[in-house]
């Protein structure tokens, strides 16, 4: 039986122009929209039970959020609202890609890869200062390329063993070959969640669950519904912008997300479900469809 109070739905980021007159009714100066719109987001729908009880902070992938930023976000949401944060990419890429945004570092090894001291000081500490009671999972996203599975898993095991205890951590991999028994054992040892990501190059959600022995290694689980399977991210952006409607429903994704939510919550495991606009075209409507699917499932 799904326990609604356990499930935390949210979106990957929140400030989208396509959501005006849907989520956002107020007028915001352009420079303040992303900073001040969380209050409306967290109160949606007005006068009803809040749909969103968490949100993904995606911009922290490119630069750690400051305590000042986080405190301002926290001032806009209820006390039981949780923030999920993507961890700074400086900690999760073994080498810099040959991209202009990396400047002189492009193509070079990353000396900060899996640096737990850097995580503690620049990523975790601002949350401890600003949002100590509203910390959702820290999501470590590892790209498809980089290290081969065996050395990656060795490095991941060492890294997780050095993280400060008492905080929720989740690992997101984009390389399906990592989904092997050793990966599952590492997560179980450290009580770290797997992030079930519905993404172009990964197996379906329930296939990931089967590869992990149909077990949840932590007291929570993260799902990120990102793109249709097989559709590159850039193509999803082109297809779905400006994100004001469902363009291409993904019925299998919805069914499998509902199944995982039900399996987790029936075991007392808290699901954090983060939906991206690029999964179907409009993340809030996707969430509402999954809620309806959950309500229609037998107990």
Task: Give backbone dihedrals phi and psi of 83, rounded to 5 degrees, phi first.
Answer: -105, 125
Convert the pLDDT of each residue in 51-84 to its tens digit.
999 999 999 999 999 999 999 999 999 999 999 9
The CA-atom distances, in angstroms, between 186 and each of 112, 153, 246 are 22, 8, 38
Residues 6+ apart with CB under 8 A from 11: 41, 52, 55, 56, 274, 275, 276, 277, 283, 284, 287
> Could you state, in order of their start, the residue ranges of all structural domains in the chain?
4-296
What is the residue whose two structure tokens read 């499930």?
A: 7
pLDDT of residue 1 exceeding 50, the answer is no
List the beta bridge partners of residue 84. 56
Other CB atoms within 10 Å distance of the CB of residue 85: 25
Residue 262, Cα to own-chain centre: how many angstroms?
A: 19
Cα 214–Cα 230–Cα 259 angle in degrees, nearest 5:
30
List the beta bridge partners of residue 171. 140, 194
Q: pLDDT confidence of 297, banded at 50, 70, 90?
A: confident
* CATH number assigned to the domain covering 4-296: 3.20.20.410
**Separation CA 216–CA 46 (nearest Å):** 34
Q: What is the pTM of this model?
A: 0.96
Convert the pLDDT of each residue in 44-55 to its tens digit.
999 999 999 999
Convert the pLDDT of each residue in 157-200 to its tens digit.
999 999 999 999 999 999 999 999 999 999 999 999 999 999 99
User: Quick check: 76 and 113 in contact, CB under 8 A?
Assistant: no
pLDDT of residue 8 exceeding 60, the answer is yes
């Amino acid at each position: 039986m799904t326990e609604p109070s356990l499930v935390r739905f949210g979106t990957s980021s929140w400030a989208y122009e396509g959501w005006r007159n849907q989520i956002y009714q107020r007028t915001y100066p352009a420079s303040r929209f992303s900073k001040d719109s969380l209050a409306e987001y967290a109160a949606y729908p007005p006068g009803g039970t809040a749909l969103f009880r968490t949100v993904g902070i995606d911009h922290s992938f490119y630069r750690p959020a400051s305590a000042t930023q986080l405190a301002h976000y926290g001032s806009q949401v209820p006390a039981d609202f949780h923030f999920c944060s993507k961890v700074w990419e400086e900690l999760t890429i073994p080498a810099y890609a040959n991209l202009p945004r990396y400047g002189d570092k492009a193509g070079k090894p990353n000396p900060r890869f899996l640096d737990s001291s850097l995580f503690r000081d620049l990523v975790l500490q601002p949350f401890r200062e600003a949002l100590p009671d509203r910390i959702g999972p820290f999501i470590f996203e590892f790209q498809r390329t980089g290290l081969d599975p065996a050395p990656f898993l060795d490095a991941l095991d060492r890294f997780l063993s050095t993280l400060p205890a008492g905080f929720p951590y989740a690992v997101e991999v984009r390389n399906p070959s990592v989904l092997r028994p050793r990966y599952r054992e590492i997560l179980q040892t450290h009580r770290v969640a797997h992030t079930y990501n519905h993404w172009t190059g990964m197996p379906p959600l329930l296939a990931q669950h089967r590869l992990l022995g149909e077990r949840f290694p932590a007291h929570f689980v993260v799902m990120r519904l990102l793109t249709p399977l097989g559709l590159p991210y850039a193509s999803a952006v082109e297809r779905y912008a400006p994100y004001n409607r469902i363009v291409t429903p993904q019925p299998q994704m919805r069914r499998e997300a509902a199944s995982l939510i039900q399996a987790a919550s029936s075991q007392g495991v808290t699901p954090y479900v983060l939906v991206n606009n690029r999964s179907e075209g409009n993340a809030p409507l996707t969430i509402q469809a999954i809620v309806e699917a959950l309500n229609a499932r037998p107990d």
